[in-house]
């Protein structure tokens, strides 16, 4: 399966439309990176075991505000559990959240796909 960032990014934006959920993602990622760097600089790598806890707000945002499944679950289902897929998922997630953070503070405008109108 060939990886296409543009396709994944547009799907990612669709699953993260709620502003509160976006802020929860930005906060979670920031806490995770702070914990990573703090553990690195203080020579306490065991603190890295706490990093998954920082993702709880981001994951709960999907269930409370978006009413959908977190993106990583869908991505893993599509690409498998091998180490390359997990690493790729982690990098893509970080890039997407960084871009969403820039949009939240008004530095960039992210493209939006037009929603299809359903006709009944």
The torsion of the CA quartet 48, 52, 58, 59, rounded to 10 degrees, works out to 170
Q: Tell me how long the chain is.
A: 120
What integer pLDDT is reported at residue 120 of this predicted model? 45
What integer pLDDT is reported at residue 8 of this predicted model? 72
pTM greater than the 0.75 cutoff? no
Q: How far is CA 63 from CA 11, 17, 21, 60, 111, in A?
A: 17, 13, 9, 5, 24
Which tokens belong to 15? Answer: 């699953």
Structure-model confidence comparison of residues 45 and 88, the more confident one: 45
Annotated domain spans of the chain = 5-104
What integer pLDDT is reported at residue 56 of this predicted model? 92
DSSP state string for 45-64: GGGGGGGGGGGHHHHHHIII
């Amino acid at each position: 399966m060939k990886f296409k960032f543009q396709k994944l990014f547009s799907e990612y934006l669709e699953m993260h439309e709620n502003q509160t959920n976006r802020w929860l993602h930005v906060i979670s990622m920031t806490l995770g990176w702070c914990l990573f760097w703090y553990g690195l600089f203080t020579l306490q790598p065991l603190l890295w075991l706490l990093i998954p806890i920082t993702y709880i707000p981001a994951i709960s945002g999907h269930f409370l505000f978006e009413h959908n499944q977190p993106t990583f679950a869908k991505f893993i289902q599509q690409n498998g559990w091998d180490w390359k897929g997990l690493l790729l998922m982690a990098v893509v997630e970080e890039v997407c959240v960084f871009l969403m953070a820039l949009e939240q503070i008004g530095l960039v405008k992210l493209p939006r796909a037009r929603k299809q109108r359903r006709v009944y």
